Structure 1
Amino acid sequence: MNKIETLKKLNSYNKNTLMETLEIVFTDVGDDFLTAKMPVNSRVYQPYGILHGGATAALAETVGSSASAMFVDASKKVVKGLELSINHLKSKKEGFIFATARQIHKGRTTHLWEIKIIDEEGNLISICKLTNIVLDKK
């Protein structure tokens, strides 16, 4: 599957999910990374009128879990987030944020991802680590 087909397939999974609600869209994919973007507006604000850390965490887990899912046989395996740690470094009030997941470890049953979240100007907004577990489908 080429890059355009892969992105189209990934984005098709967002229908009727939190990803659709948060307007998360996969924008780029490569051999060792996956990138998605999310708009920053009142839909993802916390009470102070800035980006909510939970929305940022949802973006991070979405891109990291989806990246793991790309590396397993979906007919036999399912990927689930096991642990997410995130440090919020800069606030954001409007525009877009971009999350790029890069693999640190790809084991048989666990995957570890580093996810950097930047804005459209390249400012580092948050940095995350996500551990996914790969389970047999029942």
Structure 2
Amino acid sequence: MSPHELAEYMLQQDEFSKWMGIRLIEVRERYCLIEMPIKAEMINGLRTVHGGVTFALADSALAFSSNNTDDASVALHCAMNFTKAVKLGDTLTAESILISDTRKTGVYDISIKNQHGDLVGSFRGTVYKIGKKVTSL
């Protein structure tokens, strides 16, 4: 399977990412760009998007980029900075780029932007390669 086909395969089994409304925009080996509309159910008591939603979008980007070669990886450590509030009606994109790759780990930088191209969050995720194939799990 191609990287895009593997990401589609994963998305079809990922009920949470589907609930969030995530769409795959571009997928290449160890890279992805995904998109998500903000829904009313994602708004917190301050009338902005709950930080966990933005984190979850970045985490999904990490999963789709780090697993799209069929070598299964799981998150080992993730850190997020929130740089701008997200509001109802926004559409977010998350772009995941591999910055370091070893035999057992990978490190990815994920930029989350709104529909105006404003950076709303930055995320760094480290994955551990579990030695299994995505398609055989």
TM-score bin (small chain): 0.7 to 0.9
Question: In 2, Cα distance between the equivalents of 1:12 and 1:58?
Answer: 19
Question: In 2, Cα distance between the equivalents of 1:108 and 1:56?
Answer: 29
Bigger shift: residues 92-101 or 29-38: 29-38
Percentage identity across paired residues of the two chains: 21
TM-score, normalization by structure 2: 0.85
Q: What pairs with 1:23-42 in structure 2 (closer than 5 Å)?
A: 23-31=21-29, 33-42=31-40
User: Aligned match of 1:79 in 73, 90, 96?
Assistant: 73
Unaligned runs of 5+ in 1: none
Question: In 1, Cα distance between the equivalents of 2:28 and 2:6?
Answer: 14
Unaligned runs of 5+ in 2: none
1:136 aligns with 2:136: no
Shift of the 49–11 alpha-carbon distance from structure 1 to 2, 3 Å rule, reads farther
1:21 offset after TM fit, Å? Answer: 1.1
SS of residue matched to 1:60: helix
1:9 offset after TM fit, Å? Answer: 4.6
- Amino acid in structure 2 at the alignment position of 1:27: I
1:112 offset after TM fit, Å? Answer: 0.1
SS of residue matched to 2:11: coil
Question: In 2, Cα distance between the equivalents of 1:31 and 1:118?
Answer: 22
Q: What RMSD, in angstroms, separates the aligned Cα atoms of the two structures?
A: 2.1
Question: In 2, Cα distance between the equivalents of 1:80 and 1:9?
Answer: 15
1:79 offset after TM fit, Å? Answer: 1.0
Question: What is aligned with 1:111?
Answer: 106
Q: Is the 8 A contact 2:30 2:66 kept in 1?
A: no
Question: In 2, Cα distance between the equivalents of 1:131 and 1:31?
Answer: 17
Q: Is the 8 A contact 2:29 2:65 kept in 1?
A: no
- Amino acid in structure 1 at the alignment position of 2:82: H
User: Aligned match of 1:11 in 8, 13, 27?
Assistant: 8
1:11 offset after TM fit, Å? Answer: 3.2
1:64 aligns with 2:59: no
Shift of the 79–9 alpha-carbon distance from structure 1 to 2, 3 Å rule, reads closer
